[in-house]
Amino acid sequence: MLIAIDFGISNTDIVVNDKGAYKFFSHPTDEKINERFLEKIFSYIDIPADNFSLIGVTGGKSSDLSDEYHNVKILKVNEVDAIAMGAKSIFKINDGLPFVAISAGTGTACIYNDNGVTTHLGGISVGGGTLQGLSKKLFNEDSSATLEKLSLAGNRTNLDSLIGEVVNDIGSLHPEITASNFEKAKYSDDHSNSDIAASLSNMVGEIIGTISYLNALLMGVSEVFFIGRVANLEVVRTGITDRLALANIKGNFDSQSGFGNALGVMFFLNKES
């Protein structure tokens, strides 16, 4: 068996390969990345470490781990390479095809892969952590499931000013595109938690979508591939795709994208074993 572990800021994602059958686990990243946390992970998945022939890790301070755990070799994978190979594995990207992948997790990272060579294009500090942190401060809620439910029930236009409301036509901008996030909040404090959640989720999506299409245009590609959980929140995804549409860039999403980095590590484990 093989095990791939991605130590994220909020979640530690785990993929187990048992003779070609994949099992997926997720655990809060609630401790420092050390042997004690590894013990917790193996206890959580209820599979002893010595059942594995190889352990792969990425993210966090995983490079500080020893090279072995319970006499099992630890393969340390650069997070940039894990993002690239995770996207390649999930979306079945053809060999040799240049692509941009966006890791939308607690924060957001952008990478470019050209014929197996991966470049970190940069990143932004806005992501799922932003959504949860601001929601906690504004209406004391940070559960992703609850935020998703609230945002779907809300109406962001009660807080956001749209292009069609404030200016005449600007180039190709549609009237429904946001002109200013939360602009209407300055006129009133009487807004529902649902409207706030909808506006926040959309804002995070728009920011991620903007950095995504700018990097796609920079690298000369017509589509981007998303991994990470936040891009699978419906209102966030709508914000992303609305921004991508401004530049005619296609966004690709998948239900397994939350395990993208761990699947990228598994790509290297499969090669090594």
Q: Which of 68, 79, 141, 206 does the annotation list as catalytic?
A: 79
Rounded CA separation 30/95 (Å)? 37
Closest CA to 261 of 14, 28, 1: 14
Determine the Cα–Cα distance for residues 236 and 243; give it in Å rounded to an integer.
11
Q: Answer yes or no: are the C-beta atoms of 102 and 226 closer than 8 Å.
A: yes
Rg (CA), the chain: 20
Closest listed residue to residue 233, CA positions, set 104, 108, 111, 122: 104
Nearest to 208 by CA among 222, 195, 193, 226: 226
- What is the bridge-based pairing of β-strands 117-124 and 161-162? unpaired
CB 5 within 8 A of CB 82: no
Give yes or no for a contact between 66 and 249, defined as CB atoms under 8 angstroms apart.
Answer: no
Active site residue 79: yes
Contact, 189 vs 195, CB < 8 A? no
* 244 contact partners, CB below 8 Å, separation of at least 6: 209, 212, 213, 216, 224, 250, 251
State the catalytic residues. 79
